[in-house]
Copies of this chain bind each other. A is one copy, B any other.
Amino acid sequence: MQTLEVQLGERSYPIFIGESLLAQPDCLLPWIRGRQVLLVSNATVAPLYAAQILKILRDAGLAVADVTLPDGEQFKDWQHLNLIFDALLAARFSRKVTLIALGGGVVGDMTGFAAACYQRGVDFIQIPTTLLSQVDSSVGGKTGINHPLGKNMIGAFQQPRAVLADTSVLRSLPERELSAGLAEVIKYGLIRDLPFLAWLEEHMEGLMARDPALLAEAIRRSCQNKAEVVAADELEQNDVRALLNLGHTFGHAIETGMGYGSWLHGEAVGTGMLMAADLSWREGWLSAADVARVRALLVRAGLPVLPPAGLSADEFLRHMAVDKKNVDGRLRLVLLRSLGDAWVTDTASPQHLRATLEAGAALGMMA
C-alpha cells in the first residue's frame, strides 16, 4: 500500500493506494470520528462492493444506513441528491455522521456535496471505484451537482477525511472507462510532469493490461501531481488550478454537443488534449513531432483522436463560449508551451483556433 498526503493545512488528508484495501477494516475505520455512517453508492457498484464495507462498519458496532443512487451523469441532480438527505434524516443522523462515497465521480461529487451541506458540513470518505475518479475527482475537494442550464454549476469545496483507491476494483472496470481514466493520467504528464509522460509511454501496454503495480504507480503519480496543484490553489482563485483543465474546454464542447453519455468525459478530454496540442503547434509552441507523440500515446490508451464528425467549428465555438475560465467574454484556453508545461492564455489566434477545429481527422498528423 502506498500513502500520499494532500497538504491543505487543517484540511489535509491521506490517499491510500493499493490492492484489496476494501477488505481491510484498518484502512477505513480510523477515519470515522462518530458512531454513525451513511454509505452512498450506485446501482452498478453497490452489488459488487457494498456488502463487504457494510459488514466492516457493522462489525465495528457503528450505526449504519445506506442509499443506492441510479448510475449515470444524468442523475447528478438535486432530486437524487435529496435521496441522500432523506436517508440521513430518516436515520436521524447528527452532524457527527460520516458519509462514505463508494463509486465513480458522480457518486463522489454528490456525496461530497451532501456532506458539505448536511447540517452545514459533516465528514466524508471517498472510495473511488473507477480509474478516472481515483486520479481526478477524489483529489481536490470539488463537489456538486448539475443544473438543467449548466454542468457542475451548484456545489462546494469539501475535502474528504481520507481517500481509499483500491486497485483491485479496477479489474471489473469496462475497457472504455479504463481508457477514459488514462486520459486524465496522461494529462498530468502533459501539463507538468514530462518524466511521468515518458514513464507512461514506457508502460502503456501494462497499464491497459491492468497490471496492479503499474496502476498503483500511475495513480500515485497522478494524485501527487493533482495534490500539488490543489495545494497551490485550493479554491481556484488563480490560474494554477485551471491547468488541470487541459483539453476540457474542447472536451466539454464535445460532451455538450453530442449530448451527455454519448462520449465519456475522459474520452472527450483525450480528444480535447490533442486539439489543445494541435493549436499549440499552430501557435508555434510545440513541434509537429510533439503533437504526433501526444496522438500516439492517446491511441495506445484506447482513446478516440477524432472529434465527432457532426460537430462544426461554429458549434464548437458556441459551446466553448460558456466556459467558466472565460473572463469578460474572452475565450481562455489551457495550452502547451512545451510538453510538460501548460499555461492559461487568451492569446491564441482565432484563425489558428478555427483551423484546429476544422482539422478533424488530420489532427496531429498535419505537419
Chain A residues in contact with chain B, CB under 8 A? 78, 82, 85-86, 89-90, 92, 94-95, 116-121, 142, 144, 147, 149-150, 153-157, 235-236, 322, 324, 326-327
Contact = CB atoms under 8 A, between A and B. Distances in A.
Contact of A94 (B90, B154, B324): B324
A275 to B, nearest CB: 24
B120 A85 contact: no
Nearest to A321: B92
A154 B324 contact: no
A324 B116 contact: no
Contact of A153 (B89, B150, B324): B89
Contact of A157 (B82, B86, B90, B121): B121
A117 B155 contact: yes
Contact of A144 (B120, B147, B324): B120
B117 A156 contact: yes
* Residue of A90, A117, A235, A327 with most partner-chain B CB within 10 A: A117
B156 A119 contact: no
Contact of A119 (B116, B119, B121, B153): B153
Contact of A86 (B89, B90, B119, B149): B149
A313 B273 CA distance: 66
Nearest to A85: B147
A121 B156 contact: yes
B89 A150 contact: yes
A187 B322 CA distance: 48
A121 to B, nearest CB: 7
Contacts of A327: 94
Contacts of A322: 92
A42 to B, nearest CB: 21
A340 to B, nearest CB: 29
9 closest pairs, A vs B, by CB? A89-B149, A120-B155, A117-B154, A89-B150, A85-B147, A120-B157, A120-B156, A78-B78, A89-B147
Nearest to A144: B120
Contacts of A120: 142, 144, 155-157, 235-236
A352 B147 CA distance: 51
Contacts of A118: 153-154
Given A155-B117, A156-B116, A90 B144 contact: no
B156 A85 contact: no
Which residue, A82, A90, A120, A149, has most C-beta atoms of chain B within 10 A? Answer: A120
Given A117-B144, A119-B155, A121-B156, 5 more contacts: A85-B147, A89-B147, A89-B153, A116-B156, A156-B156
A160 to B, nearest CB: 16
A95 B325 CA distance: 10
Given A120-B142, A120-B157, A95 B149 contact: no
